[in-house]
């Protein structure tokens, strides 16, 4: 390859990265309009999609042709569009759904915080709090519509990871699983569905678990699951022999993460198991998704993604010993930990 070709490719590749926010916002709008669901039964013209989604026909076509060039949709003759493999992930009923995340990540309060990334990098501070004077949790609690969009994203993310998590971890060895910070119960419902002899406890904040009964009933597992509301900074339910936390610890800085883990340790018997389902930061020059997620944690929450060694260090401080990690799909790993032999914290 000539130097000119390398330079040209580098320029094009970097331009695409620089303008990545434009693609993100375009996908966000398509998700909000439900375009993938409208295309689930087959190709449609942009005019028909505009009618179905309540959009301006000519402008919607401009959006769709751009996303077709990015590989999200496919454009055929007469401005007709269909789903690609990526577009299938935007369907609300996709087994690997990203529609909820796309609908959330483009919300103004989220990307406006990213506009203050430089502040975080210069100071180490949480950009969202710097911009809004409160945490993202407090903001969503005070804005029910935004909280609903966020909860939908988290439920969709859980649904997309369920099969991988179940395949990575043998839940049949347990009798009672507690999902701490389990949202609306999508993950726990999947675990209980796959393990008929298992009981469960779903634990999260009161405003989060409001729709959990509906989710558990839809999976036919409500009779085997208790719903408990509370704060994992104060107490979590006892009585389980497995405590699962999916994408919880990465939401907090080290001090708060250790506090959450210590709360779990106090509730656990010495023979119980802790299962942390998290993105684990890969070695240098690998794993762009986890490293961009790490920046998102910085911007939105003042938190971070961690390496396996960093998770192990947190666990040791909180009274656990890690016993290794198992990959669960392309995004997550399941880190298993046991209570240490030291006195209960």
Q: Which sequence positions are flagged as catalytic?
A: 250
CB-CB neighbours of 99 under 10 Å: 24
Q: CA nearest 105: which of 249, 293, 328?
A: 293
Q: CA nearest 231: which of 216, 213, 252?
A: 252
292 contacts 262 by C-beta, under 8 angstroms: no
Q: CA nearest 117: which of 328, 322, 297, 256?
A: 297
CA atoms within 13 A on the CB side of 266: 13
Query: Number of H helices and number of E strands within the chain?
Result: 17, 10
CB-CB neighbours of 106 under 10 Å: 19
CB-CB neighbours of 242 under 10 Å: 22
């Amino acid at each position: 390859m000539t130097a000119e070709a390398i330079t040209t490719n580098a320029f094009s590749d970097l331009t695409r990265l620089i303008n990545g926010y434009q693609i993100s916002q375009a996908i966000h709008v398509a998700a909000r309009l439900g375009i993938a669901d409208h295309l689930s039964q087959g190709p449609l013209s942009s005019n028909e999609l505009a009618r179905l989604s309540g959009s301006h026909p000519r402008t919607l076509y401009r959006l769709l042709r751009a996303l077709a060039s990015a590989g999200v949709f496919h454009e055929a003759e007469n401005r007709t569009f269909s789903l690609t493999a990526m577009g299938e992930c935007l369907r609300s009923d996709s087994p690997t759904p990203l529609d909820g995340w796309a609908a959330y990540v483009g919300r103004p309060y989220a990307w406006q915080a990213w506009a203050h990334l430089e502040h975080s990098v210069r100071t180490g501070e949480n950009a969202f709090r710097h911009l809004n004077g409160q945490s993202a949790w407090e903001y969503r609690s005070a804005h029910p519509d935004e909280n609903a969009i966020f909860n939908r994203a988290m439920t969709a993310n859980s649904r997309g990871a369920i099969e991988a998590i179940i395949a990575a971890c043998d839940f049949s060895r347990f009798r009672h699983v507690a999902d701490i910070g389990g949202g609306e119960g999508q993950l726990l419902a999947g675990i209980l569905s796959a393990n008929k002899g298992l009981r469960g406890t779903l634990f999260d904040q009161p405003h989060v678990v409001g729709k959990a009964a509906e989710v558990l009933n839809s999976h036919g597992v409500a009779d085997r699951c208790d719903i408990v509301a509370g704060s994992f900074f104060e107490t979590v339910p006892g009585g389980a022999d497995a405590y699962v936390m999916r994408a919880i610890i990465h939401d907090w800085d080290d001090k708060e993460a250790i506090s959450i883990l210590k709360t779990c340790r106090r509730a656990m018997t010495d023979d119980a198991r802790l299962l942390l389902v998290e993105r684990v930061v890969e070695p240098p020059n690998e794993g762009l998704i986890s490293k961009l997620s790490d920046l998102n944690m910085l911007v939105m929450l003042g938190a971070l993604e961690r390496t396996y060694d960093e998770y192990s260090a947190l666990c040791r401080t909180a009274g656990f010993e890690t016993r290794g990690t198992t990959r669960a799909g392309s995004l997550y790993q399941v880190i298993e930990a046991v209570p240490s032999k030291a006195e209960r914290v």
